[in-house]
Amino acid sequence: MNVKKNVKKIDFSILGDISTKNTCLVFIHGWGGNKNSFKKVAGSFAIKNSVWFLPQAPYLLDGEDKYSWTFEKSPGKYEREEPVQLMLNFLEQQVFSRFESKDVFIFGFSQGALVCYELLKILDKPIAGLFPISGFIADQNKTIKRIHPAQINTPIVIGHGLKDEVVSFHESELAFNLLKNESSNVILESYKGGHKIGYSYIKKIRDLIHQIH
């Protein structure tokens, strides 16, 4: 599909009242999603005293209300630096300006999980938790640092359906094996089903957030 690359900012939706909440949840949607994709699922998490920030990927797909976090620059090569920088700007300007970083949890689904893994390498403010779901990690064969020192104590809970036919469960196993070499706070949580967010994972994350906050 063709991708329009002229958008240089992150649009977003907010669920909840910022002025009355002390826990911030950021959800990064997958390929073909938008800022409204996660609204129905957000209620399933039922996180107390929280507000959701739902950023929208910057690259429009074929003029539809569907977006991507990357585009193919040349055959087999995809843009990663620009969208990650745009997300960093979004976090700094819209999230960290309102919440302490240690009150912020970041989720990413599918392609959004890839963005999570990229942020993990460079985000220099410690966050409360990182939750990549049904995704994959880049540069699997490279020997590089994958966790910024600021995130060494950040809980990282990777979720993936065992019967995922879009992104293989093996991709999250690879990510887990790479990250556990740098942090003891990494968990791989499998669940029944395919390319979706499993209820057992939702419950685990809800309990973890309520324990931390």
Domain limits of the chain? 3-212
Calpha distance 83→78 (Å, rounded): 11
pLDDT value for 77: 81
In the structure, what pLDDT confidence band is assigned to residue 1 with cuts at 50, 70 and 90? very low
Q: What is the pLDDT of residue 7?
A: 52
Query: Judging by beta carbons within 10 Å of its beta carbon (0-12, 13-18, 19+), is residue 204 exposed, middle or buried?
Result: middle
Q: At a CB cut-off of 8 Å and minimum separation 6, what does 181 contact?
A: none
Using the predicted structure, report yes or no on whether residue 189 has a pLDDT greater than 50.
Answer: yes
Close Cβ partners of 46 (under 8 Å, ≥ 6 residues apart): 206
Is the model's pLDDT at 110 over the cut of 70?
yes
Alpha carbon 146 to its chain centroid, in Å, reads: 15
- Residues 17-65 pLDDT 10s: 988 889 999 999 999 999 999 998 888 999 989 999 999 999 999 878 9
The pLDDT, as a whole number, for residue 2 is 46
Size (the chain), residues = 213
Tokens of 7: 């958008």
pLDDT confidence of 167, banded at 50, 70, 90? very high
Tokens at 53, concatenated: 């920030």
Work out the average pLDDT over 146-152: 97
Q: Which of 114, 74, 69, 64 is nearest to 90 (CA)?
A: 69
Question: Residues with Cβ < 8 Å from 15, sequence gap 6 or more?
Answer: 39, 42, 51, 52, 54
Kindly state the percentage of the chain with pLDDT values over 90. Answer: 80
According to DSSP, the β-strands at 23-28 and 50-56 are parallel
CB 28 within 8 A of CB 115: yes
CA atoms of 168 and 185, how far apart (whole Å): 23
User: Mean pLDDT throughout 97-113?
Assistant: 97
Please tell me which residue, 133 or 22, carries the higher pLDDT value.
133
Question: For residue 190, what are the contacts with CB-CB under 8 A and spacing of at least 6?
Answer: 159, 160, 161, 162, 169
Q: Global pTM? A: 0.93
Please tell me the CATH superfamily of domain 3-212, with its number.
Answer: Alpha/Beta hydrolase fold, catalytic domain (3.40.50.1820)
Give the neighbor-by-neighbor strand order of the sheet with 3-4: 3-4, 59-61, 67-68
